[in-house]
Amino acid sequence: MDMPPVETTESNNSSMISTNISMMDLMFDNRRYRVTPETPDIKQLATDLIHNYNLEEPFFVCDIGQIIKKHEAWNLYMPRVRPFYAVKCNDSPLVLETLAGLGTGFDCASKVEMRKVLEIGVSPTDIIYANPAKPRSHIVAAAEQGVQTVTFDSHVELLKMKRYLPGAKLVVRIRCEAERAQCPLGMKFGVNIEDATELLNAAKSLEMDVIGVSFHVGSGCMDPPVFYRAIAEARILFDYAARELGYDFSLLDIGGGFPGNTGTSIVEIAGVVNNALEDFFPQGCGVEVIAEPGRYYVAAAFTLVTQIHSIREIKSDDITRYMYYINDGIYGSFNCIMYDHAIVRPEVIGIRQSDEVNLFECSIWGPTCDGLDQVCSSELLPKMEVGEWLVFPDMGAYTLVAGGTFNGFPLPKVHTVASAITWNSLKDVMKTLAFVVDDVPVFPNSGVGYNRDAVGWGCVEEAVIGRVVSHFSNETEDGQLINLASSATSDDESSISSSESDEGQSSPTEEGVIEENNF
């Protein structure tokens, strides 16, 4: 059940403008963070959301702090390798905006992904169009948008580039597969070294500019030594291109395959990569090294929260088993089971968390009428009741982005949180997002801040940008809404108008809807 709308007013010289935004909209807006004073406890936060807003639909909780930690670890263990985030993995605006603020590049597979990244202010030079087989219209879109770095692995693709993107900076993709990977890719993309040399010969005859080599060992790589073999093979191609064709390659793309689930680490892979780079592409050789991590950044940042809506009790041979039906399944967020070979594990929240003794065998099923819509075939859980909730950690990779609404069941919304420390580290680089500080929205880099007295805690006071214009209402203990709105002077409004103009944002409309880059 949605909370009542929150009213705020802004005054200017000509009119009073009213904006109605429900607190539910604030909590589940995919362009807002909620800032918390401390590092968020995801299970407790999920429990609070369920109780405070009487939720029944599934939802995600995204902890942006997890993405920050992954980025810090990447820079620590592989400082020479610049990450180009694989947008296909999770294209949430919050994820893209955060990573752009951190300075990553982006690996895009289509014109839609390129547009999403460009719309948040990313330079075309920070994009690699890393789909080796591209539709004509997507190549044209890349040309129109200024994206030039493109991968290829066939002669046909070379001819398309020559016709539709003649100024492309081409990267030939070779095949070097991991012996064990969650999602192998070699059967579809990449060529061996012999075929790659022929492609380079053809590119030279077409007077196309080839600038480097790429490979992808497979998504979710479990064979770290493969990176050494792949980098060694890339060196062979670098040498051939220089010796035989006069190319001066300047880019090595080591692709993806980096683990991201809770408890995993890139330390082992990083050690292999660093050793290979030292052996074949030493510091100062003039070659830029990039990678295409996807699940590494987002897998652990997202937790899915689902409700049990139906239960069947199965008795056989004096053993009782339970079938739990939840409100998300393989046609929604759990499509990762089918397409990403994911193994998901449920966890209980609330009063069941303390019950570690009385466990029963159960299976977990999605909400659709398809008999294949099974999430877990065999788990041990406390005896659950209808209306109780299960959470699934490590659900940020290849989930929402590939989900559908079969049988009319909606995809979950995302509630995104960040600690005050995380928010402080990001505030100056965010361009289009709004933050929600203790249920009060804050618009970074737009001239609108928050009032410490209204919010009730001051640990992020120094992070505020600009002057206070208005506040969305907060709740009293009995659930009623109190108005925390404050008026701005004409000077304040003038300052804000100037700031919005600088950022390419519009003023409030006559209907009272605040528009900020489609926010």
Domain match, 286 and 320 both:
no
| Domain closes at, from 293, 313, 348 | 293
Domain match, 15 and 98 both:
no
Domain match, 162 and 242 both:
yes
Asked, for residue 513, whether it belongs to a domain, the answer is no
d(CA 468, CA 427): 16
Asked, for residue 220, whether it belongs to a domain, the answer is yes
Domain match, 320 and 462 both:
no
Q: Considering its fold, how many domains does the chain have in total?
A: 3
Query: Whole-prediction pTM value?
Result: 0.80
At residue 438, the pLDDT reads: 61
| Domain closes at, from 253, 269, 293 | 293
d(CA 492, CA 494): 5
Residue 193 is which amino acid? Answer: I
DSSP run (H or E) holding 9: strand 5-11
At residue 433, the pLDDT reads: 65
Exposure letters 420-451 (e unless 16+ CB within 10 A, then b): bbbbebbbeebbbbbbbbbbbbbbbbbbbbbb
Asked, for residue 311, whether it belongs to a domain, the answer is yes
d(CA 330, CA 168): 39
Domain match, 321 and 369 both:
yes
Phi-psi region of 408 (alpha: psi -120 to 50; beta: other; left: phi over 0): left
The CATH number of the domain holding residue 239 is: 3.20.20.10
List C-alpha distances in Å: 184 to 109, 177, 338, 396: 17, 7, 14, 20
Domain match, 137 and 12 both:
no
Asked, for residue 267, whether it belongs to a domain, the answer is yes
d(CA 345, CA 230): 33
DSSP H helix total and E strand total for the chain: 15, 25
The 10 Å Cβ neighbour count of residue 404 is 10
Find how far residue 451's CA is from the centre of its chain. 30
Using one digit for the tens of pLDDT, what is the confidence trace for 222-242?
A: 678 889 999 999 999 999 999
Exposure letters 497-515 (e unless 16+ CB within 10 A, then b): eebbeebebebbeeebebe
Q: Which residues constitute the domain of residue 79?
A: 68-293
d(CA 480, CA 278): 63
Exposure letters 352-363 (e unless 16+ CB within 10 A, then b): beeeeeeeeebb
Domain match, 111 and 214 both:
yes
The CATH number of the domain holding residue 401 is: 2.40.37.10
Domain match, 339 and 454 both:
no
User: For residue 34, what are the contacts with CB-CB under 8 A and spacing of at least 6?
Assistant: 26, 27, 415, 416, 417, 418, 435, 436, 437, 439
Domain match, 180 and 289 both:
yes
Angle, CA of 169, 431 and 510, to the nearest 5°? 125
Q: What is the pLDDT along the chain (519 residues), one digit of tens a residue?
A: 343 333 333 333 333 223 344 667 767 776 778 888 889 999 999 999 999 889 999 999 999 999 999 999 999 999 999 999 999 999 999 899 999 999 999 999 999 999 999 999 999 999 999 999 999 999 999 999 999 999 999 999 999 999 999 999 999 999 876 555 555 544 557 899 999 999 999 999 999 999 999 999 875 556 788 899 999 999 999 999 999 999 999 999 999 989 989 888 899 999 999 999 999 999 999 999 999 999 999 999 999 999 999 999 998 877 889 999 999 999 999 999 998 889 999 999 977 766 666 899 999 999 999 999 999 999 999 999 999 999 999 999 999 999 999 999 999 999 999 998 998 888 777 766 667 766 666 666 543 333 333 333 333 333 332 222 222 223 333 333 222 222 333 333 333 333 334 434 433 333 333 233 222
Asked, for residue 63, whether it belongs to a domain, the answer is no
d(CA 346, CA 446): 41
Domain match, 33 and 165 both:
no
Asked, for residue 423, whether it belongs to a domain, the answer is yes
Asked, for residue 183, whether it belongs to a domain, the answer is yes
| Domain closes at, from 293, 317, 352 | 293
Domain match, 210 and 334 both:
no
Helix (H, G, I), strand (E, B) or coil at 262: coil
Domain match, 93 and 137 both:
yes
Helix (H, G, I), strand (E, B) or coil at 203: helix
Active-site positions read 369
Using one digit for the tens of pLDDT, what is the confidence trace for 302-356?
A: 999 999 999 999 988 778 899 999 999 999 999 999 988 899 999 999 777 666 6
DSSP string of 318-380, one letter each residue: TEEEEEEEES--TTTTTHHHHHS------EE-GGGGG--SS-EEEEEE-SSS-TT-EEEEEEE
- Hunting for tokens 């005896």 — which residue is that? 383
